[in-house]
Amino acid sequence: MIFGLDISTSITGFTVLDENGEVIINEAWDLRKYKNIFEKANIIKEKLFKVHYTAYMSPKAIFIEQSLQSFRSGFSSAKTLSTLSRFNGIISWMCFSEFGVEPEYLAATSARKKCGIIVPRGVKAKEVVIKYIVDNVPDVLIEYTKHGNPKPQCFDMADSWVIARAGWLDCQKREK
Alpha-carbon distance of 156 to 27, in angstroms, equals 8
For the chain, the helix, strand and coil percentages under 3-state DSSP, each to the nearest 5:
45, 15, 35
CA dist list (Å): 93 to 19, 64, 86: 24, 12, 11
Q: Pairing state of beta strands 104-106 and 2-6?
A: unpaired
Domains and CATH numbers, the chain: 2-175 (3.30.420.10)
The pLDDT value recorded for residue 75 is 52
The string of pLDDT tens digits covering residues 137-175 is 999 999 999 999 999 999 999 999 999 999 999 999 988
Q: Pairing state of beta strands 2-6 and 61-65?
A: parallel
3-state class (DSSP) for residue 79: helix
In the chain, the percentage of residues whose pLDDT exceeds 70 is 94
DSSP calls for 5-59: EE--SSEEEEEEE-TTS-EEEEEEEE-TT--SHHHHHHHHHHHHHHHHHTS----
User: What is residue 100's DSSP assignment?
Assistant: S
What single letter denotes the amino acid at residue 27?
E
The string of pLDDT tens digits covering residues 50-78 is 888 877 788 999 999 997 554 454 555 77
What phi-psi label fits residue 118: left (phi over 0), alpha (psi between -120 and 50 degrees) or beta? beta
The string of pLDDT tens digits covering residues 93-152 is 999 999 999 999 999 999 999 999 999 999 999 999 999 999 999 999 999 999 999 999
